[in-house]
Amino acid sequence: MTKNKNLIIYYSRTGNTKEIAELIQSMVGGDIIRIETQEPRPANYRKEVEQNQFEQGTDFLPELTTVIDNFDDYQNIFIGTPTWNMALPQAVLTFLRTYDFSGKLILPFNTNGGYGTGNTLNQIEGNINGAKMTSGFSVKGGEENKGILFTIEGIHKDGVSTKLDNWLKQNYK
């Protein structure tokens, strides 16, 4: 059992955060796992927004189907999340509150609709007791409220890849 394995865990609705996770995997290697809820999320954007606001407002933590039996084997945990309502999706909070991050290095990454990370990085840091967290990587993805879903492709993907490589050089050893 090696203690310097990489885990790239992410939550993604439109594919932008997934794309960043896959870019990270191609650059540093490691296991990649998607955070998934037991109850399917609404496909309709407006219904998803309403459900998310309810969950955030009541601190409801949806149950996950994602289980990582060998979590202790990982030293470097890349945590990918979109910004929803200027905060983490509650599924990401469920993940953070499920595992013990003591002694691990947390490398957070974020996609957003142009409003930035909001409170997502602070929320991650507040739920990883005993871990060290690097600066976060953030990039503009889609704007689902405008019907623009997946954007990290083509020439934009090349630029994101270059920025991601620079972030990794500064934060990943």
Domain holding 136: CATH number?
3.40.50.360
Long-range pairs for 148-151: beta carbons < 8 A, 24 or more residues apart: 149/14, 149/15, 150/14, 150/15, 150/16, 150/19, 151/16
At residue 164, the pLDDT reads 97
Write the pLDDT tens digit of every residue in 81-119: 999 999 999 999 999 999 999 999 999 999 998 889 999
pTM given for the model: 0.94
Write the pLDDT tens digit of every residue in 118-146: 999 999 999 999 999 999 999 998 888 88
At residue 150, the pLDDT reads 77
Write the pLDDT tens digit of every residue in 17-65: 999 999 999 999 999 999 999 999 998 888 988 999 999 999 999 999 9
> Residue 39: which residues within 8 A CB-CB, separation 6 or more?
62, 63
pLDDT score of 170 more than 90: yes
Domain hosting 27: range is: 5-171
Q: How many domains, the chain?
A: 1
